[in-house]
Structure 1
Amino acid sequence: MEETKENKIIEGVIWKQLLLFFFPIMIGTFFQQLYNTIDAVVVGQFAGKEALSSVGGSSAQIINLVVGFFTGLSAGASVIISQFFGAKDEEGLKKALHSAYAFSIVGGILCGILGVLFAKPLLTIMNTPQELMAQSTLYVRVYFSGLIFIFVYNMGSAILRAIGDSKRPLYYLMICSVINIALDLLLVLGFHLGVAGVAIATLISQAVSAVMVTAALMYRTPGLKLIPAEIRFHREEFSTMLRIGLPTGIQSSMYSISNMIVQTVLNNFGVDTMAAWAVFGKIDSLFWMVNGAFGIAITTFVGQNCGAGKWDRVKKGVHVCLGMALVTALAFSAVFLSEGSLLFRIFTQDKGVIMIGLRMVAVISPTYFLFVFIEILSGALRAEGHVLVTTVMTLSGICLLRILWVTLIVPNGTLEEIVACYPVTWAICALGMILYYGYKQRKIFAQQKLKTAP
């Protein structure tokens, strides 16, 4: 590793470094979201609301469950790599890199096989309407056939971001998004493949992104070199990855499971509601894209400064990041509430679907600011290695309560009562996260004062 190169994440102006790291992540996440969003736009406008529901309904929830779980696990690799990088531990960095890649390859193959085999049973459990079953099953199976590419790309990009390189993952996603859009139009409009066309387009473009990020780690990343022959599990580093990443992965999967249960309830309202929920998910993802980018930025920032022992920067960085994320959350709420109808018309011209979607927007969008505290504070705690309590808090405060809400509290509720489970659970978990973060930081800083006392 180059000793003379300044690491600005642990040296530079805090707000500037957060923004310099945040914007490439945000734009990159935007292009990653563009994969499925363009799929939804193309099938919604040219193949009908049934195809739109097949791409964005129950099938999307199943995909989010598996991909979200692995992304959470990859956070463990991101944290220890950022700490090794901040501490300039070359041997630890090398072992962590190759363990992470072994995990993404094995995980991608195994989860891909399971997804193909169990696609139809899962869709059946979720009350997917019979008229959507064939297309939804096809979409899920094609998507899972290329899951190894998605896992490899997500792991590779997480590794690059962990060492402060958020630009190259952005460039790769921009290229692959263009490929995806071109293939969507070609396969849906040119060859009339419908749902199968958008699934194949996504698979091919994800494969390209996986190849590019792997090549970058093999040949063009100073301080890191991926050597295919050395890809294997190193017990200590892999155990640490799992210790940090597994709670996050479980947390992410529980989010998805609770969302799947909400989706199952909403499926009973019919195809129009399913289509509206699918479109709302794409619009809603714009906020999660930005909020998630702030979460990744603060995790990397705290991880590297923690590794370097710069605790004052950790504290200031979290406060600055919270402020920026809150401002953007309030801005998204205002835009969605005022321009919701226009946003829905990008995906569908069906007036019934649009009216149902606007009812969802009115309940959920005003409360985005609540989740900012959950995202930023849990990201900072994760980077410090404290994940167990935040995971339990999230599982009980959001996931379990959300399930209880739709199954016991409002089992036969209206649309508004069902989707109200989101703001209610965010509020409860945000309060718990604020209290726990404050307690944990006071404890950490007290320990640091004892260490530095004369």
Structure 2
Amino acid sequence: MTVGSPLHQITKFALPLILGYILQQMYLVIDAVIVGRWIGVGALAAVGASTSITFLIMGFCNGACAGFAIPVAQAFGAKDYRKMRIYVANAVRVSAVIATVIMVLSLMSCHRILQMVNTPTDIFHNAYTFLMLQFAAIPLTFGFNLLSGQIRALGNSRQPFYFLITSALVNILLDVVLILFCGMGVAGAGIATWLSQAVSVALCIWYIHKHMQLLIPQGDERRYDNRRTSILLNNGVPMGLQFSITGIGIIMLQSANNALGTTCVAAFTASLRIKYLFTCVFENIGVAMATYCGQNLGAQRIDRVTRGVKDAICLMLAYFVFTFVVIYPSADYMMQLFVDSGEAAVVSNAAQYMRINNYFYPTLGLLTILRYAIQGLGFSNLSMLSGVMEMIARCGVSLWLVPAIAWTGVCFGDPIAWIMADLFLIPAFLWVQRRLKKKKVIQLSNN
């Protein structure tokens, strides 16, 4: 990604990511469709009641793994393969510890967490069952994100895409078998997700050993390296905390929404499933920017960073136009996938949420591009602060706007958070850009 057209390189790298995550979101949509249509609105609400909690914990896992991949990408861009493998070995070691600790603490706190977010009594048992199964899969989530991130750090985004396809198909098949034929209900949805993630981890391990042995540490490269571990943690922990801090705001918002009743919880669940199906494209353009900026920083091609950001913004805006053309006229019909047309309140609320959020997608796209670019350039603490801005905004919405205007306030929760983050990220990126250019000038003058 250090040569050629930035737009071509970013698009080429991002496209498999986007397709893979669309498939991943599709099987989450199918989960919700099967649960909502064949079990009922209450079960759909139970699956969605813990969405924000899952985002908080899984978000930390995903963010940390993305951060661990940045030093790998930088070392690969600099063609220092020994250092790259030392990073790989220490990332695996650190990830195993973190994943185990998070899983144990999450399982121990599950009941209390659901109480804290005002989970309605009539769906509490199913919500608890589903969330426990999600928490049990944390090591698998960590494993897939870590290994796929290391594969992508070398510029290969196709294989993780193929693995997600396989995982999605396994998940859909297991949903049908466990929910429709075995009658396992919400528990069947959780078990299907757990087993499909195990398949994706196994495929990553197989592929690295078979085709990417450049990533496999040898001899003393496997030893614990305190300095490299510190660098990994300095990249991974802020990125993980960024998602978790954002997740705190989402929990506050969902808690306020849960207090509005089961109808609003079901509407929130359905709209989020479709929303993530569309917004995962913005997220993965951002992920591509992290690798792009990391490799170009390692190769000392700072001039390409600005060009890459501009091209990514153009790509994002083109996609926004597509989403608007699709979502605005079709939101009500999309929501009827999840519940019977007779559930008019659920359909109407969910469609309103989709349309309001869609108006603000450009602010989300700018957020992901700048945030991941800053992370790829090694300034993860700044991106974490943007997560703080999102958290503050969502907390404000949940404390004041939702009590004032109920469901409409919930609909504006994310857009207000995106705007607040952008107000921080735009000047932060300009500052990072100036600092790196100044540093390069100094290095050239010294040489």
TM range (shorter): over 0.9
Whether 1:195 aligns to 2:186 is yes
1:428 aligns with one of 420, 425, 445: 420
Deviation of 1:409 (Å): 5.4
Deviation of 1:402 (Å): 1.7
Whether 1:74 aligns to 2:65 is yes
Q: Which residue of 2 aligns with 1:377?
A: 370
Q: Which residue of 1 aligns with 2:122?
A: 131
Q: How many Å separate the matches in 2 of 1:319 and 1:153?
A: 31
Please tell me whether the aligned partners of residues 52 and 247 of structure 2 are also in contact (alpha carbons under 8 angstroms): yes
Runs in 1 of length 4+ with deviation above 6 angstroms?
227-232
Q: Which residue of 2 aligns with 1:400?
A: 392
Please tell me whether the aligned partners of residues 218 and 226 of structure 1 are also in contact (alpha carbons under 8 angstroms): no
Whether 1:414 aligns to 2:406 is yes
Q: Which residue of 2 aligns with 1:97?
A: 88
Q: Are the structure 2 counterparts of residues 114 and 204 from structure 1 closer, same or farther at C-alpha, using a change threshold of 3 Å?
A: same
Alpha-carbon displacement from aligned partner over 1:27-84 (angstroms, at most 9, x marks no partner): 1112222342221111011111111111122x22222111101111112211100001
Q: Which residue of 1 aligns with 2:105?
A: 114
Please tell me whether the aligned partners of residues 283 and 365 of structure 2 are also in contact (alpha carbons under 8 angstroms): no
Q: Which residue of 2 aligns with 1:353?
A: 346
Deviation of 1:411 (Å): 3.6
Q: Which residue of 2 aligns with 1:451?
A: 443
Please tell me whether the aligned partners of residues 61 and 141 of structure 2 are also in contact (alpha carbons under 8 angstroms): no
Q: Which residue of 2 aligns with 1:171?
A: 162
Please tell me whether the aligned partners of residues 65 and 142 of structure 2 are also in contact (alpha carbons under 8 angstroms): no
Q: Which amino acid aligns with 2:374?
A: L
Unaligned runs of 5+ in 1: 1-8
Deviation of 1:332 (Å): 1.5
Q: Which residue of 1 aligns with 2:232?
A: 241
Q: Which amino acid aligns with 2:284?
A: A
Whether 1:319 aligns to 2:310 is yes
Whether 1:23 aligns to 2:15 is yes
Alpha-carbon displacement from aligned partner over 1:391-431 (angstroms, at most 9, x marks no partner): 22330x22112202321455443211233232223223213
Q: How many Å separate the matches in 2 of 1:338 and 1:68?
A: 31
Q: Which residue of 2 aligns with 1:183?
A: 174
What RMSD, in angstroms, separates the aligned Cα atoms of the two structures?
Answer: 1.9
Please tell me whether the aligned partners of residues 331 and 355 of structure 2 are also in contact (alpha carbons under 8 angstroms): no
Q: Map 1:53-68; keep pairs closer than 5 Å.
A: 53-57=45-49, 59-68=50-59
2:29 aligns with one of 33, 37, 41: 37
1:363 aligns with one of 350, 356, 370: 356
1:223 aligned counterpart, secondary structure:
helix
Q: How many Å separate the matches in 2 of 1:332 and 1:227?
A: 47
Deviates more, 1:424-433 or 1:408-417: 408-417
Please tell me whether the aligned partners of residues 96 and 237 of structure 1 are also in contact (alpha carbons under 8 angstroms): yes
Q: Are the structure 2 counterparts of residues 202 and 231 from structure 1 closer, same or farther at C-alpha, using a change threshold of 3 Å?
A: farther
State TM-score, norm by structure 2.
0.95
Deviation of 1:231 (Å): 6.2
Whether 1:266 aligns to 2:257 is yes
Q: Are the structure 2 counterparts of residues 260 and 251 from structure 1 closer, same or farther at C-alpha, using a change threshold of 3 Å?
A: same
Q: How many Å separate the matches in 2 of 1:245 and 1:34?
A: 28
Q: Which amino acid aligns with 2:383?
A: T
Unaligned runs of 5+ in 2: none
Q: Which amino acid aligns with 1:394?
A: G
1:309 aligns with one of 266, 289, 300: 300
State TM-score, norm by structure 1.
0.93
Q: Are the structure 2 counterparts of residues 147 and 391 from structure 1 closer, same or farther at C-alpha, using a change threshold of 3 Å?
A: closer
Please tell me whether the aligned partners of residues 209 and 216 of structure 2 are also in contact (alpha carbons under 8 angstroms): yes
Please tell me whether the aligned partners of residues 54 and 136 of structure 1 are also in contact (alpha carbons under 8 angstroms): yes
Q: Which residue of 2 aligns with 1:5?
A: none
Q: How many Å separate the matches in 2 of 1:206 and 1:229?
A: 31
1:14 aligns with one of 3, 6, 16: 6
Q: How many Å separate the matches in 1 of 2:442 and 2:4?
A: 27
Deviation of 1:20 (Å): 0.9
Q: Are the structure 2 counterparts of residues 233 and 199 from structure 1 closer, same or farther at C-alpha, using a change threshold of 3 Å?
A: farther
Whether 1:287 aligns to 2:244 is no
Percent of residue pairs identical? 27
Q: How many Å separate the matches in 1 of 2:386 and 2:33?
A: 36
Q: How many Å separate the matches in 2 of 1:51 and 1:229?
A: 52
1:437 aligned counterpart, secondary structure:
helix
Q: How many Å separate the matches in 1 of 2:75 and 2:255?
A: 43
Q: Which residue of 2 aligns with 1:212?
A: 203
Q: How many Å separate the matches in 2 of 1:233 and 1:275?
A: 47
